Structure 1
Amino acid sequence: MSYQALYRVWRPQRFDDVVGQETMTQTLKNAIITKQTSHAYLFTGPRGTGKTSAAKIFAKAINCHYQKDGEPCNECETCRAITAGALNDVIEIDAASNNGVEEIRDIRDKAKYAPTQADYKIYIIDEVHMLSTGAFNALLKTLEEPPANVVFILATTEVHKVPATIISRTQRFNFKRITAADLFKRMAYILEQKEMTYDPAALKVIAKAAEGGMRDALSILDQVLSFSDNHVTLENALDVTGSLTEALLADYVQTIHDHAPKAALQLLQQILAEGKDAQRFVEDLIEYVRDLLMYQQAPELVMANEMDLLDEHFKQLSDALSAEQLYTVIDILNETQQQLRFTNHPEIYLEVATVRLTQQPVAPAAVSANVSAPADNEQVTQLSRQVAQLQAALQKLETAGPSAPVQQAKPKPAKKISKKVNRKLIYPVLADATRTNLENLKEVWPDLLNMLDVTKRAIMRVSEPVAASQSGVVVAFNYEILFERANNDQDLLTVLENGLNRLTGNPFKVVLVPQDNWPEIRKEYLQNHAVSGHNNEDQPTTTEKAPAPEVNEVVQQAQALFGDAVVVQKD
């Protein structure tokens, strides 16, 4: 006989064999024992959770003359015929391929005839949500008042697509996802029965990858057995499922804790080079960080879900990372997961996310733990002094009365521009900047980024050129922390300037600015050089000219918005 897949060989033949659905199976057994069975049932739930298997077991149990405690004997002629699919009175229909009105009318007409061999005629309609509207309407009357000795069992994974009029005519059973622990036990039992060896960590990986479906778990196990010559190893399970080892996930999270972007990017490149799926990597990482967070609050719950396979590194990370840091990591990973759905270059988003994760500020809880008691006392003393000064000033105002002049509060200063922004290098670029130069530079910018190594490219992904002349370019960064990192990296600036020289043939000077400060810097330049009428010390001196005429306020605003290279003033 040809080889059969594990999920077919080990399909449940009794209610007690259905894993993880004790409530549903016990209810069905009680109905058979007390002879209070219904004429129509609706089995709903995710794929691979035992809906069709339970329907066939029910068909055997209700027709078995030797059933005991609601379980079929599986030895009589009727039970063996139903197991083999050879009993004419148990009809299994796939609604995905038989979803028309004519097929349902044929069922309705044949249901009128009495069963030929068994006591009950059973119709099992799988994926019933695929029926057309007309087919559902044709089934309504039969479901409401079926002939004697006829039972309909409808199974579906998408119950929301089944009309309410159908649901109201059936007894509904909701099959739930099977827990990873139950999947683990069932696979271990099957392997022990087959006298095969296995690594417990490998079964854990398969159980998590199955996502609550027994059929999926056995299919993956079957594939791993074929791949590993009848021995289930962790390495082969990871290769088949595309998952990552707990150690690799722990190492990646460790780089986040250590604020080590270089090590994190190298680890990411290793993961992607091994062919791991980017989406699966993010999912595994979110689940790992979720377990760290859960372990801080309910360690016994995580231990049960992970089947006591947690290592010391996991426990150390759970102690080292604060809940606020883990919240931030999950938020960034969730945002990255959404971005990966709409891109053909997932490595870019993973690199940027890796840099963001490793550049997180220290959590407030960690900061407070590192602050010494003398520092706290000093802050309290300073605050007390300020309160005393404010109280004295308030007393003076009350003594002077309403006639005393009140000093007008000064307006709040605008957002400070980073001290590391070098205007002496920016203003010469702006003096000769044109739109053409900027567009030409943007065309070669992707080529320039491809010339960088992994770490430098990840930093420069969040930047873009915003102004360019024949000899210089101003590059704005979306995040100030990455601007400071790049501005302090002289090697990076040298590589950028050399790369632009190779691509354009011109020697370029690269100047960096934070994106938030760029509009204010450009406005300052326009005011100092277009309105004041005299040369700024940062601007190269030129021949003396007549004082510049006063610029209209509307023109100033237009130049501030679009740049002086675009705005042309005509009388």
Structure 2
Amino acid sequence: MSYQALYRVWRPQSFIDVVGQEHITKTLQNALLQQKISHAYLFSGPRGTGKTSAAKILAKAVNCEQAPTAEPCNECASCRGITDGSIQDVIEIDAASNNGVDEIRDIRDKVKYAPSAVRYKVYIIDEVHMLSTGAFNALLKTLEEPPRHVMFILATTEPHKIPLTIISRCQRFDFKRITSQSIVGRMELIMKESGLAYDEKALPIIARAAEGGMRDALSLLDQALSYSDDQLTEEDALTVTGAVGQGMLNELAEAILEKDTAAALAILEKLLMQGKDPARFAEDFVLYFRDMLLYKTAPHLEESLARVMIDEVFVSVAEKMELESIYEYIHILNETQQEMKFSNHARIYMEVALVKICQRRSSRASVDMPEVQELIGRIQALEKEIQQLRSQPIQQAEQADAQAPSRRPARSSNGFRAPAAKIEKVLSEATKQDIQLIKSRWGEMLDILGQRQMRSQAALLNDAEPVAASKEAFVLKFKYEIHCQMASENKRFIDTISSILQELAENTYQVVCVPEEAWLTIRKNFIKTQKADSNEQEAEQSEDPLIAEALKLVGEDLLEVKD
């Protein structure tokens, strides 16, 4: 075959031709000039980024007749022989097909022989991660301490599959994906050197489709040149790569901006009729909105845009699009991409995504809706009324408190009113024998409640206890106010307690419920009132002259006054 693919014809022959890997080429050039060449190198990175090409250039540079030099001269016999493969001292091995122990043992046996034509014998092992465990073990000692005239260069796309014992014996260089700008620059050089006509918009499309690989980019360029006629156009590049043109993306973005679902679906139908892949279209649309987001937030970083070119239509759409909408669109499209991976109906998912995007209401439109405006007005009116209520003086409340009777029933924060009058009546008639009788029967009463399938009601009495009792009633104190309110409002529960105590104590008791806080207050007021009444009675007795004379004769202990 007389024709060679572009990536073979334009394979780098010098370090300066290796695009996008300056951090590696500069290190190797300095090592060559300073004669600090290592015995083993590991080149790792994505496909088509220049690993094998850099290995061959390094092999030529160490064996160049002009050495030490930063670049091989490509003119001496050594450089020409390594380039055309006529020198047998530079051995390139494909580990994918020669991954056994026998092949590595053969290398180990032959490595001790000196090179025949050049200074160094160089072994380039491509896709070294494909070697078997036994092959790695056979290579291990030779790789660590090879003869002075031998160099190993290992290349791989999956360095994590290589044993750490191998990696630690090599100088590792990680090749990175090549940027679109670098790929476009290399393709422009090739097109100009080849004398081929092309459209400037075509090369960035091919560079984006290559996904950081120069070999992939040149293969796509070769394919696009074969598809085109006299000049490589943008349409040719779009057809070969399956990408969507920016014009169609701009039209689709305008339809989304206008909430025109029919127009958006019509554009999608047109693209699918042209043979576009829905998954690839979703990816292009994500990159389109990503570039729009960067343009709106950092317009001076045009070199960071991966998909679009800044034209009038794009700028117009970007100015009208809200940032919140762009975030939502990217999220919807990203979810659609994930769903497409596990479905045979990618088109349906793409159509659903466009409908969701078109029907999404922007935050600005939502605020302008009459219903929203009415709701905002009502909220503002309520806020104004609340402010007025807060600003009113509380004198009326203070006056009401001052005029209220001193002995008012205790009221809780939840509105529960403790029956102070009933409690004071029980206290005035209470006896020690009555309360002891009820407490002695209290445990039996709780057991009977459990037997009658009233466990949920009986649970209210876990923190309750009788604290005072008379012949007719007793006061039941609750620790928690909510339990007191629930028990007092349950008439069936109160009647059940009363009937059970009637059976056990042979007496009918009325149950008076009170929270602990209110009980303490009522009991304190009752004791204070009783003490005041006792003092008044003593004062009256001391004013009677007969009683006063009797007190002088016998004393208070032996005197009992009866009305």
Q: Does 1:113 align with 2:113?
A: yes
Equivalent position of 1:326 in the other structure: 326
SS in 2 for 1:299: coil
Residue 354 of structure 1 is matched in structure 2 by 354
What does residue 291 of structure 2 align with? 291
Partner secondary structure for residue 125 of structure 2: strand
Aligned partner letter, 2:277 = D
**Distance in 2 between the 1:221 and 1:17 partners?**
18
Contact 2:7 2:215 in 1 (8 A): yes
1:25–1:396 distance in 2 versus 1, CA, 3 Å: farther
1:131-167 per-residue CA deviation (whole Å, 9 max, x = no partner) reads 1111111111111111111110011111111111111
SS in 2 for 1:354: helix
TM-score computed with the length of structure 2 as normaliser = 0.68
1:122 paired to 2:122:
yes
Aligned to 2:336: 336
**Superposition map of 1:249-268 within 5 A:** 249-268=249-268
Give, as a single letter, the amino acid of the residue that structure 1 aligns with 2:351. Answer: E
Displacement after TM superposition at 1:368 (Å)? 5.9
Closer, same or farther in 2 for the Cα pair 1:370/1:15, shift >3 Å?
farther
Partner AA of 2:387 in structure 1: A
How far apart, CA to CA, are the structure 1 residues paired with 2:394 and 2:85? 96
Equivalent residues of 1:43, 1:173 under 8 A apart: yes
Q: Which amino acid aligns with 1:151?
A: M
Q: Which amino acid aligns with 2:115?
A: P
Instruction: Rate the CA distance shift 1:258–1:303 in 2: closer, same or farther, 3 A.
Output: farther
- Deviation per residue, 1:27-49 (Å, 9 max, x gap): 10111111100000011111111
Name stretches of at least 5 consecutive residues in structure 1 with no aligned partner.
409-571
Q: Evaluate the alpha carbon distance shift between residue 303 and residue 141 of structure 1 in structure 2; reply closer, same or farther with a 3 A threshold.
A: closer
Q: What amino acid sits opposite 1:163 in the alignment? A: P
Could you tell me how far apart the structure 2 residues matched to 1:257 and 1:273 are? 24
Equivalent runs, 1:55-454 vs 2, <5 Å = 55-67=55-67, 69-303=69-303, 305=305, 309-363=309-363, 381-388=380-387, 391=390, 403=411
Query: Which TM-score applies when normalising by structure 1?
Result: 0.67
Q: Cα offset for 1:391?
A: 3.0
* Letter aligned with residue 54 of structure 2: A
**Cα distance in 2 for residues equivalent to 1:99 and 1:230:** 46
Change (3 A) 1:6 1:126: same
- Whole-angstrom distance in 2 between the partners of 1:397 and 1:216: 86
Aligned residue for 2:92, secondary structure, equals: strand
| Conservation of the 8 A alpha-carbon contact between 1:180 and 1:305 | no
Please tell me whether the aligned partners of residues 181 and 305 of structure 1 are also in contact (alpha carbons under 8 angstroms). no
Aligned-residue offset at 1:106: 1.1
Corresponding residue of 1:13:
13
**Counterparts of 1:368 and 1:189, CA distance in 2:** 54
Gap change, CA 1:347 and 1:81, over 3 Å in 2 = same
CA offsets 1:481-507 (integer angstroms, 9 cap, x no match): xxxxxxxxxxxxxxxxxxxxxxxxxxx
Q: 1:222 to 1:404 in 2, by over 3 A?
A: same
The alpha carbon displacement at 1:84 in A equals: 0.5
In structure 2, do the counterparts of structure 1 residues 145 and 270 end up closer, same or farther at CA, with 3 Å as the change threshold? Answer: same
- Relative to 1, partners in 2 of residues 1:307 and 1:331: Cα closer, same or farther, differing over 3 Å? closer
Q: Percent identity?
A: 54
Provide the residue aligned with 1:29 in structure 2: 29
Deviations 1:468-522 (A, max 9, x none): xxxxxxxxxxxxxxxxxxxxxxxxxxxxxxxxxxxxxxxxxxxxxxxxxxxxxxx
Distance 2:60 2:50 in 1: 15
Task: Give the Cα separation in 1 of the matches to 2:139 and 2:394.
Answer: 87
Matched residues in 2 for 1:4 and 1:183: separation? 20
Structure-1 separation of matches of 2:343 and 2:375: 49
Structure 2: stretches of 5+ with no match in the other structure: 402-409, 417-563
Q: Structure 1: how far apart are the matches of 2:38 and 2:353? A: 55
Alpha-carbon deviation of 1:406?
Answer: 5.6
Secondary structure at 1:300's aligned position in 2?
coil
Q: Is the 8 A contact 2:288 2:307 kept in 1?
A: no
Contact 1:397–1:404 (CA under 8 A) maintained in structure 2 = no
The 3-state SS of whatever aligns with 2:249 is helix
Which residue identity does 1:318 align to in structure 2?
Answer: A
Three-state SS of the structure 1 residue aligned to 2:75 is coil
Most deviating of 199-208 and 311-320: 311-320
Distance in 2 (CA, whole Å) between partners of 1:17 and 1:247 is: 34
**Deviation of 1:389 (Å):** 5.8
Aligned in 2, Cα 1:395/1:16: closer, same or farther, shift over 3 Å?
farther
Partner-residue secondary structure (3-state), 2:173: strand
C-alpha deviation, 1:69, in angstroms:
4.0
Shift of 1:180: 0.6
Larger Rg: 2
2:208–2:306 contact (8 Å) kept in structure 1: no
Aligned equivalents of 1:279, 1:112: Cα separation in 2: 54
| Aligned twin of 1:54 | 54
1:29-87 deviations in Å (ceiling 9; x for gaps): 11111110000001111111111000000000000012474101101111001001121
Name the CA distance, whole Å, in 2 between partners of 1:397 and 1:19: 86
Q: 1:67 to 1:386 in 2, by over 3 A?
A: farther
Alpha-carbon offset, residue 367 of structure 1: 5.3
- Shift of residue 332, structure 1, vs aligned partner: 0.7
Query: For 2:74, what is the secondary structure of its paired residue?
Result: coil
1:305 offset after TM fit, Å? Answer: 4.0
CA contact 1:303–1:309 (8 Å) conserved in 2: no
Change (3 A) 1:230 1:92: farther
Partners of 1:40 and 1:329 lie apart in 2 by 49
Whether the aligned pair in 1 keeps the contact of 2:12 and 2:53 (CA below 8 Å) is yes
1:70/1:285 CA distance change after superposition, 3 Å:
same
Over the aligned positions, Cα root-mean-square deviation in angstroms equals: 2.7
Distance 1:137 1:369, change over 3 A: farther
- Secondary structure of residue in 1 paired with 2:271: helix
Q: CA deviation at 1:381?
A: 4.6
Count of matched residue positions in the alignment of Structure 1 and Structure 2: 405
Q: CA deviation at 1:122?
A: 0.4
CA distance in 1, matches of 2:135, 2:412: 89
Provide the rounded CA distance (Å) in 1 between the counterparts of 2:329 and 2:395.
51
- Give distance in 1, aligned partners of 2:237 and 2:280: 15
Instruction: Give 2:270's aligned amino acid.
Output: Q
Cα gap change, 1:398/1:343 in structure 2, threshold over 3 Å: closer, same or farther? farther
Q: Is the 8 A contact 2:291 2:307 kept in 1?
A: no
Q: CA deviation at 1:380?
A: 7.8
1:345 Cα shift? Answer: 1.4
Corresponding residue SS for 2:201: helix
CA distance in 1, matches of 2:31, 2:339: 50
Secondary structure at 1:153 match in 2: strand
Give per-residue Cα distances to partners, 1:396-426, cap 9 Å, x unaligned.
9976787388689xxxxxxxxxxxxxxxxxx
Alignment partner of 2:205: what SS?
A: helix
2:46–2:157 Cα contact (<8 Å) kept: yes
Structure 2 residue identity aligned to 1:314: F
8 Å CA contact retained: 2:208, 2:307? no
1:220 touches 1:240 (CA, 8 Å); kept in 2?
Answer: yes
Moved more, 239-248 or 337-346: 337-346
Contact map agreement 2:96 2:131 (CA 8 A) in 1:
yes
- For residue 257 of structure 1, report the CA deviation from its aligned partner: 1.6
Matching residue's letter, 2:154:
L
CA distance change for structure 1 residues 112 and 272 in 2, over 3 Å: closer, same or farther? same
Q: Conserved in 2, the CA contact under 8 Å of 1:303 and 1:310?
A: no
Amino acid at match of 2:265: L
Q: Structure 1 stretch 304-313 or stretch 95-104: which is displaced more?
A: 304-313
**Corresponding residue SS for 2:58:** helix
